[in-house]
């Protein structure tokens, strides 16, 4: 992608006293003319790159140029720096660490700010999670298979050999997308459900991946959904936008009427229980009955 090449060219110019168009064209496997156009694009964006001709010529930045003064506003640089810092802590991925180290070196020390803090996943403090993530990342980068012990939502255990392709974060949940030899197809695996992970010596060949990718759609796409109507006390309106689209809600007096089209599963029941006692299930009746049964069961279990 051109944007990736532009950023890489900028970093190479920053980290070298000077570099020639020929060196850049050979590195990126593009023509010298393409590199010249890229330099023009960077210059138009406000990056003060100039060139010197001759045997020792090449592209270089103006002396004492600071990236944050011309390329990014100070607040923008703070946001990007904090995001990169969070990423390099959460993902053991050498390229992310390298980008963060290079970027942070370019910025003045007074950019150390806590105006915005990005905490990507509370799971990263767990020893097993970090160890598994490290193995998976290494396997992905070196095209090595891994053996995982995996549990499903019903705590059934299975052993899988997978070829890891992509680490995916959806919401606050990490997944590994790869080819599963047991299912003979591509699958998404929650990292929180991987009990153990072992790097295998055997390498894998890249297969053509099906399109679209799972993360391009809702993971529930393809699952049966149910039309649901809820009546929720208006006092819960602060909590609802975290889970429900505004367009699915309408305020009627002191109540919020919510129309959903959800898969009925344990997540939905836990969501509804989290709204008790401020929620009433209007439709469907069978969902209301099951919800009441669960409430009664909880009461029985917690009786003194």
pLDDT tens-digit map of 120-169:
555 444 677 778 888 998 899 899 999 999 987 667 889 999 999 998 87
What is the rounded average pLDDT of the residues 114-124?
Answer: 52
What is the rounded average pLDDT of the residues 4-15?
Answer: 75
Query: Tokens 């003319």 belong to which residue?
Result: 33
| Among candidate residues 97, 79, 99, the one with its CA nearest the CA of residue 89 | 97
- Which region holds residue 72: left if phi is over 0, alpha if psi is between -120 and 50, else beta? beta
DSSP letter for 57, please.
-
Phi and psi torsions of 284, nearest 5°: -80, 160
Domain boundaries, the chain: 2-65, 124-216, 226-301
Question: Looking at residue 91, what is its pLDDT?
Answer: 56
3-state secondary structure of 230: strand
Report percent pLDDT > 90 for the chain.
23
Report the interhelical angle of 32-44 vs 21-28 (nearest 10°): 110
DSSP letter for 168, please.
E
Report percent pLDDT > 70 for the chain.
71
Give yes or no for a contact between 70 and 46, defined as CB atoms under 8 angstroms apart. Answer: yes
68 confidence band (pLDDT: 50, 70, 90): very low
Please tell me the distance from the alpha carbon of residue 76 to that of residue 109, in angstroms, as a whole number: 15
- The larger pLDDT score, comparing residue 69 to residue 254, is at 254
Give yes or no for a contact between 104 and 87, defined as CB atoms under 8 angstroms apart. Answer: no
- What pTM was estimated for this model as a whole? 0.48
Question: Looking at residue 70, what is its pLDDT?
Answer: 47
What is the rounded average pLDDT of the residues 166-195?
Answer: 86
Please tell me the distance from the alpha carbon of residue 6 to that of residue 18, in angstroms, as a whole number: 16
Q: What are the tokens at 71? A: 């390329």
Question: Looking at residue 90, what is its pLDDT?
Answer: 57
Please tell me the distance from the alpha carbon of residue 77 to that of residue 171, in angstroms, as a whole number: 24
R_g of the chain, CA atoms, integer Å: 26
29 confidence band (pLDDT: 50, 70, 90): confident
Question: Looking at residue 185, what is its pLDDT?
Answer: 93
| Among candidate residues 65, 55, 47, the one with its CA nearest the CA of residue 22 | 55
* The pLDDT of residue 1 is above 50: no
pLDDT tens-digit map of 185-212:
999 998 888 989 999 999 999 999 888 8
Mean pLDDT estimate for the chain: 78
Other CB atoms closer than 10 Å to residue 184's CB: what's the count? 7
Please tell me the distance from the alpha carbon of residue 13 to that of residue 214, in angstroms, as a whole number: 37
* The pLDDT of residue 248 is above 50: yes
CATH assignment of 2-65, given 3.50.50.60, 3.40.190.10, 1.10.10.10, 3.40.50.620?
A: 1.10.10.10
**Which range has the top average pLDDT, 107-111, 200-204, 243-247?**
200-204
Architecture of the domain whose range is 124-216? Roll (2.30)
Extended strands (E) in the chain: 49-52, 58-61, 144-151, 157-170, 173-180, 185-190, 194-203, 226-233, 249-252, 255-262, 279-283
* The pLDDT of residue 64 is above 80: no
């Amino acid at each position: 992608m051109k944007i990736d090449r532009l950023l890489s060219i900028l970093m190479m110019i920053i980290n070298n006293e000077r570099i020639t168009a020929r060196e850049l064209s050979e590195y990126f496997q593009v023509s010298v003319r393409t590199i010249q156009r890229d330099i023009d694009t960077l210059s138009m964006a406000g990056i003060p790159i100039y060139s010197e001709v001759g045997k020792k010529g090449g592209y270089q930045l103006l002396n004492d140029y600071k990236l944050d003064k011309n390329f990014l506003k100070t607040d923008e640089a703070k946001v990007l720096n904090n995001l990169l810092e969070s990423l390099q802590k959460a993902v053991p991925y050498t390229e992310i660490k390298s980008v963060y180290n290079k970027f942070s070196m370019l910025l003045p020390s007074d950019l150390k700010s806590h105006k915005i803090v990005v905490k990507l996943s509370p799971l990263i403090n767990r020893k097993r999670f970090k160890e598994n993530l490290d193995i998976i990342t290494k396997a992905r980068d070196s095209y090595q298979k891994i053996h995982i012990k995996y549990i499903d939502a019903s705590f059934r255990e299975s052993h899988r050999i997978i070829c890891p392709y992509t680490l995916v974060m959806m919401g606050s949940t990490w997944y590994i997308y790869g080819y599963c030899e047991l299912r003979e197809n591509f699958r998404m695996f929650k990292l929180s459900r991987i009990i153990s992970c072992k790097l295998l010596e055997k390498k894998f060949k890249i297969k053509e991946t099906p399109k679209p990718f799972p993360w391009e759609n809702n993971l529930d796409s393809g699952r049966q959904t149910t039309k649901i109507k809820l009546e929720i006390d208006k006092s819960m309106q602060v909590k609802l936008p975290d889970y429900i689209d505004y367009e699915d809600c309408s305020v009627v007096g002191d109540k919020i009427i919510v129309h959903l089209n959800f898969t009925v599963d344990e997540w939905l029941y836990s969501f509804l229980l989290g709204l008790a006692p401020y929620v009433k299930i209007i439709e469907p009746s069978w969902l209301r009955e099951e919800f009441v049964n669960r409430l009664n069961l909880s009461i029985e279990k917690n009786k003194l």
